[in-house]
Structure 1
Amino acid sequence: MKIEQIYDKALAHGSYAIVSEGQVALVDPGRDPQPYLDFAEKHHGTIVAVFETHPHADFASSHLEFQQRFGATVYINPKVGVSYPFLPLQHGDEVRIGKVTFRALFTPGHSPDHNAYLLLDEAGKPHAVFTGDSLFVGDVGRPDLREGAGHVKANRKELAGMMYDTVNTVFAPLPDDVLVYPAHGAGSLCGKNMSTELYSTIGQQKEENWAFHVKEKQAFVESFLDGQPFIPKYFPYDVELNRKGADPLAESIERVPRLASAEALEKGVLIVDTRNQEAFKAGHLNGALNIQNKEGDKFETWLGALVSPTESFYLVAEDEEALAAAIVRAAKIGYEKLIKGALVNPAQAPVKSDRLDLNEFKAHPERYTIVDIRNQSEVATGKIFDSAVEIPLPELRDRSGELATDKPIVVHCAGGYRSAAGASILERKLAGATVYDLSEAVKEFK
C-alpha cells in the first residue's frame, strides 16, 4: 500500500491517491485528472474507485471524468442526491481495494451529507482517515455553507451541533496513531483556524485541536459559528456542479471561444484581466477587472468571489501561454463555462490607470478618501488608516455607490494583491472619479 497527497496550493486543497495490488483509489480529486493518472502510471496501477467525502463548494471535482473515461466507481453518501451512477456508502459500509479496506464514517457538520473514510491496512488495522472537510489540522469544517445549496439543506446551528457529535462520537474514539488526511490546509475558506501542517494524527488533534477541548455542546456551537470568513459567490454553484459532475477538463476548456481581437467584445459584458497590476495600469480595456493570475496567488478564489456564476465574462491575459493557464485555473472552480471569449490583451490598450504620488499622500492623507478592502476579521486586528471607509473586497462591486467622489480615492488591502482588483472595480463603477491603488506601499504604513 502507498498513499500520496496531491496538494493544490492555490486552493489549499489536498486530495489523495492510494494504491494496493495494482488497484488505485482516489479521495476528493481536483478538476485536473493528470496528477492522478501520473500516480497510477508510476505505480503500474489502474484507477478503480473515487471516494467523494461530500459535494465540495470550493473546487470542481473530476470524479465524473474518472467514471466516464476510465470506468472508476464513484462512492459517496446517498444523502448527497447525485445525478450520476454511484454506489452509496453509509456509516460502517466497507469497500475492498486490493488488500486494503475503506470504511465509511458518517461525519456531518460541515455538510449534512458528509462521509470520512477510514483506511484499514492489509492486516485490518486502522491506518489513516481521510476526513474531507469534517476534521482539519487545527480546526473543523465550517457549518455555514449549506443553508442554501445541496440536496439536503440545514441551518448553521444544526450543522454546528452535528459537528460536535461527529468530533466526540466518531473521531475521538479512533486510535491515537491513526493518520489524519484532510481535504484542506491553511488558506482555505472552508475553515478559520487551520494549521500550515498538511496532515496529523488523531492523537495530535485530541491535544491541539480546539474542537476536542470544548466539552459543553452549546459553547462549542457558539465558538464554532463565531468569526467564520466570507462565503465566495461561487460556493453554492460548485456544490451543485459537483452533485451533477463536471465535464471532462480537456474537452470543456477546448470549447472556450478564442478571440483574435478586442473588436469582437460585446459591450456591457464584464472583462477579467489576469495580467500583473503594473501591466494592467499601463494599459487595459475599458471597464476591465484586474484579478492577477500569478504563481502562488489565490486567482481561483478571487475570481469566484468577485464574479457571480450567473454572469458571463471575457478573459484577458498577457500572451497565449498565460491565457491557456488562466482558462485552466478558471476551470478548477467550474468557471470555464462562463467565459464568453478569451483573448490576449491588445498592444495598444486604451485605458491607463492613475498613479498615486506617494509622497503627497503621506504628507496629506486627509485629502483622500481611503478605502480599506480587507476582510472584517483583518480590520478587527487593527486599522491601518483611522479615517478609512471599510468595504470588504467581495462586497465592493455592490457597495461602490456608498463612496463619495469629491476627493481622490485610495484603495488598500494588506499586501497589495487585492487592492489591484479593488481599484479596478472602482475605476469601472465610479465614472469620472480619480482612483489610486496603494498596492504594496501599504506595508510602509503598518
Structure 2
Amino acid sequence: MKIEQIYTGCLAQGAYYIVSGQEAAIIDPLREVQPYLDRLEKDGVTLKYIFETHFHADFVSGHLDLSKKTGAPIVFGPNAEADFETIIAKDGEIFEIGNVKIKALHTPGHTLESTTYLLIDERGKEHAIFSGDTLFLGDVGRPDLAQKSANMTQEELAGMLYDSLQSKILPLPDEVTVYPAHGAGSACGKNMQKETVDTLGNQKKTNYALLQPDRDSFVEAVLDGLTAPPKYFGMNVAMNKGGYESFENVMNKGMNPIAPQDFESVVEQTGALILDTRSAADFHLGFVPNSVNIGLKGDFAPWVGAMIVDVKQPIALVADAGTEEEAITRLSRVGFDNVIGYLEGGFGSWKANGMETDTVKRISPDEFAAGFTKETKVIDIRKETEYAAEHVEDAFHAPLDSISEWAGNLASDDQHFFLHCAGGYRSMIAASILNARGIRNFTEVEAGFNGIKKTAVPTSDFVCQSKNLK
C-alpha cells in the first residue's frame, strides 16, 4: 500500500494518491490531471475511483477531466447532487482498492454532503482518514459556507458538524493518521496548523475545536472570529457541481500570444482585465496602464479569486517569459478559465515598442521612517488579526479583500497617504487597483510592516477601532 499526499502550497490544498496491488484511488484532485496520469502510468496501475470529500469552494477539482481520461467513476458522499454521472456513496459503504478498503463516513456540517474516507489496510486495521474540510489540523471546517444551499443557519450547521465529529471521527483509534484537505493559509478554516499530517490522538489533545466540553461550547468556539468568505467561493462550488470546460481547452485558448501593437485593441474589444503576474519589485518600475498586479510568486490563485471575483471575467496576461502556462494553470485552479491570451514578449516588448507605461511610487522602510511624523497618513491593508497584533501608531486599517468598499473614500481625499501590508505583495495589489481607479496620491512601502517595525516608526500593540478606514 502506498499513500502520497500531493500538496499545493499556494492553495494550501492536499490531494491524495493511494495505491494497493494493481489499483489506485485519488481523493480531491486538482484541476490539472496530468501529474496523476503520470503517476498511474509510472506505477502501472488502474485508477478505480475518484473520491470527493465535498463540493469544494476554494478550488475547482479535476474530477471530471480525470474521470473522462481514465474511465474511473467519481464518488461523492450522501446528499450530493451533481449535473454529471457520479456514485453517491451510502454512509458506511465500503469501496475496495486492491487489498485495502475505503469506508465512506458521512460527516455533514461543513457542507451537507461532506464525507470523510476511512482507509482500512490489508490487515483490516483502521489506518487513516481523509477528512476533507470536516477536520483540519488545529481546526475544523467553517460551517458558514453552506447556509444558503442547506437552508440552515451557521449555528445549526456547526451543531451538525459537532455531531459528525463526535459520532464518526473521535471514536476512531488515536493512532489513525489524519490527512486533511487543507493546511495553514486556506480560507476554509481560521486556526490551521502549518503541518499537513498528524495522528488523530494528537489532534484530540491539541485541536481547540475537539477540546470543547459540549455542543454549545463547540458551536460558539467554531463560529467565533469567522471573517466573510471570499466572494468567488460560490462560483467554484457551482463549477464543481455543474461541470466546466476541459483543462486542455482552457490552456489552448489562453496560450495565445498577442502582439504589443494589438494588445490594447484586443483588451478593449473583449472587456478583458489586464493581469500582470510579475513581482511587485518589477511591476512598480513600469507596467501597462490599468494593469492589476497579482504576483505569480505568492498566494496567486486565492488573491485572484478574492480581487477579481467573477470567474467569467476575460483576462489578458502580462507575465515573465516562460511563466504564461503556469499562470493559466493556477488561474484555472480557481475557475478563471477565460484567459484570452498574453502580451507577446512581456512588458519588455511593450516598452521596446514605445507604448505608454505607468509606475507606482515605492520607497524603502528607512525612507518612510525618515519622513514619518504624527500627521503622516498610513493605511494598513493586512488582515484584522495582523493589524490587531501590532501596527503603525494611528494607522488606518483597510483590509485588501474589502478594497472595493473603502477605495471610494480615498477618491475625494487629496491628502497623501502611505500604503503597506506585511511584506509588499498585497500592498502592490492594492496599489495597482487604486492606480487603475485614478487614485494616485499615495506611496507604497516596500517590505511592508516587516520592514517598518525595524525602524524608529512608533508602533502600537492594541486595536484602535476609531482608525478603521470606512
TM-score by length of 1: 0.93
CA–CA distance in structure 2, aligned partners of residues 103 and 124 of structure 1: 12
Matched, 1:398 2:405: yes
Is the CA contact 1:397–1:425 (under 8 Å) kept in the aligned structure 2? Answer: no
Counterpart pick for 1:163 among 143, 147, 161: 161
> Partner of 2:437 in structure 1?
429
Is the CA contact 1:65–1:246 (under 8 Å) kept in the aligned structure 2? Answer: no
Is the CA contact 2:293–2:428 (under 8 Å) kept in the aligned structure 1? Answer: yes
> Partner of 2:415 in structure 1?
407
Question: How has the CA–CA distance of structure 1 residues 407 and 418 changed in structure 2, closer, same or farther, with 3 Å as cutoff?
Answer: same
CA–CA distance in structure 2, aligned partners of residues 362 and 56 of structure 1: 48
Q: CA deviation at 1:417?
A: 1.0
Post-superposition CA distance 1:360-415 (Å, at most 9, x none): 65333445432111111222222x22322221101113320112532222111112
Percent identity reads 38
CA–CA distance in structure 2, aligned partners of residues 255 and 390 of structure 1: 40
CA–CA distance in structure 1, aligned partners of residues 151 and 318 of structure 2: 39
Q: CA deviation at 1:39?
A: 2.1
Q: CA deviation at 1:50?
A: 0.3
Question: Which stretch shifts more, 366-375 or 208-217?
Answer: 366-375
> Partner of 1:39 in structure 2?
39
> Partner of 1:303 in structure 2?
304
3-state SS of paired residue (1:96): strand
> Partner of 1:371 in structure 2?
379
Question: How has the CA–CA distance of structure 1 residues 392 and 80 changed in structure 2, closer, same or farther, with 3 Å as cutoff?
Answer: same
> Partner of 1:278 in structure 2?
281
Question: Which stretch shifts more, 19-28 or 407-416?
Answer: 407-416
Is the CA contact 1:61–1:245 (under 8 Å) kept in the aligned structure 2? Answer: no
3-state SS of paired residue (2:48): strand
Is the CA contact 1:367–1:408 (under 8 Å) kept in the aligned structure 2? Answer: no
CA–CA distance in structure 1, aligned partners of residues 178 and 51 of structure 2: 16
Counterpart pick for 2:225 among 224, 227, 236: 227
Q: CA deviation at 1:195?
A: 1.2
Q: CA deviation at 1:219?
A: 1.4
Name the aligned partner's letter for residue 18 of structure 2.
I
CA–CA distance in structure 1, aligned partners of residues 247 and 67 of structure 2: 13
Question: How has the CA–CA distance of structure 1 residues 416 and 4 changed in structure 2, closer, same or farther, with 3 Å as cutoff?
Answer: same
> Partner of 2:464 in structure 1?
none
> Partner of 2:458 in structure 1?
none
CA–CA distance in structure 1, aligned partners of residues 46 and 368 of structure 2: 64
Q: CA deviation at 1:90?
A: 2.1
> Partner of 1:293 in structure 2?
296
Question: How has the CA–CA distance of structure 1 residues 34 and 302 changed in structure 2, closer, same or farther, with 3 Å as cutoff?
Answer: same
Is the CA contact 1:109–1:159 (under 8 Å) kept in the aligned structure 2? Answer: yes
Matched, 1:116 2:116: yes
Is the CA contact 1:426–1:435 (under 8 Å) kept in the aligned structure 2? Answer: no
Counterpart mapping for 1:26-425 below 5 A: 26-148=26-148, 150=149, 152-256=150-254, 257-261=256-260, 262-267=263-268, 269-294=272-297, 297-309=298-310, 312-337=313-338, 339-343=339-343, 344-345=346-347, 346-347=350-351, 348=354, 349-356=356-363, 359=367, 362-382=370-390, 384-403=391-410, 405-425=413-433
Q: CA deviation at 1:87?
A: 0.9
CA–CA distance in structure 2, aligned partners of residues 153 and 304 of structure 1: 25
Is the CA contact 1:272–1:289 (under 8 Å) kept in the aligned structure 2? Answer: yes
Is the CA contact 2:11–2:302 (under 8 Å) kept in the aligned structure 1? Answer: yes
Post-superposition CA distance 1:178-207 (Å, at most 9, x none): 111111111111111111111111211111
Is the CA contact 2:319–2:342 (under 8 Å) kept in the aligned structure 1? Answer: no
CA–CA distance in structure 1, aligned partners of residues 205 and 450 of structure 2: 36
Aligned residues: 439
Question: How has the CA–CA distance of structure 1 residues 265 and 399 changed in structure 2, closer, same or farther, with 3 Å as cutoff?
Answer: farther
Q: CA deviation at 1:439?
A: 2.4
Is the CA contact 2:147–2:157 (under 8 Å) kept in the aligned structure 1? Answer: no
Name the aligned partner's letter for residue 19 of structure 1.
V
3-state SS of paired residue (2:53): coil
TM-score by length of 2: 0.89
Question: How has the CA–CA distance of structure 1 residues 184 and 409 changed in structure 2, closer, same or farther, with 3 Å as cutoff?
Answer: same
Question: Which stretch shifts more, 345-354 or 230-239?
Answer: 345-354
CA–CA distance in structure 1, aligned partners of residues 404 and 314 of structure 2: 15
> Partner of 2:468 in structure 1?
none
CA–CA distance in structure 1, aligned partners of residues 116 and 445 of structure 2: 44
CA–CA distance in structure 1, aligned partners of residues 373 and 437 of structure 2: 23
CA–CA distance in structure 2, aligned partners of residues 265 and 19 of structure 1: 47
Question: Which stretch shifts more, 54-63 or 258-267?
Answer: 258-267
CA–CA distance in structure 2, aligned partners of residues 40 and 314 of structure 1: 34
Structure 2: any 5+ residue segments left out of the alignment?
454-470
Structure 1: any 5+ residue segments left out of the alignment?
none
Is the CA contact 2:80–2:88 (under 8 Å) kept in the aligned structure 1? Answer: no
Q: CA deviation at 1:272?
A: 1.5
CA–CA distance in structure 2, aligned partners of residues 64 and 153 of structure 1: 28
CA–CA distance in structure 1, aligned partners of residues 129 and 450 of structure 2: 41
Is the CA contact 1:141–1:190 (under 8 Å) kept in the aligned structure 2? Answer: yes
Question: How has the CA–CA distance of structure 1 residues 153 and 24 changed in structure 2, closer, same or farther, with 3 Å as cutoff?
Answer: farther
Q: CA deviation at 1:269?
A: 4.1
Q: CA deviation at 1:153?
A: 4.7
Name the aligned partner's letter for residue 234 of structure 1.
Y
3-state SS of paired residue (1:50): strand
Post-superposition CA distance 1:213-252 (Å, at most 9, x none): 1022111111101112441121111111111233332222
Name the aligned partner's letter for residue 309 of structure 2.
S
3-state SS of paired residue (1:180): strand
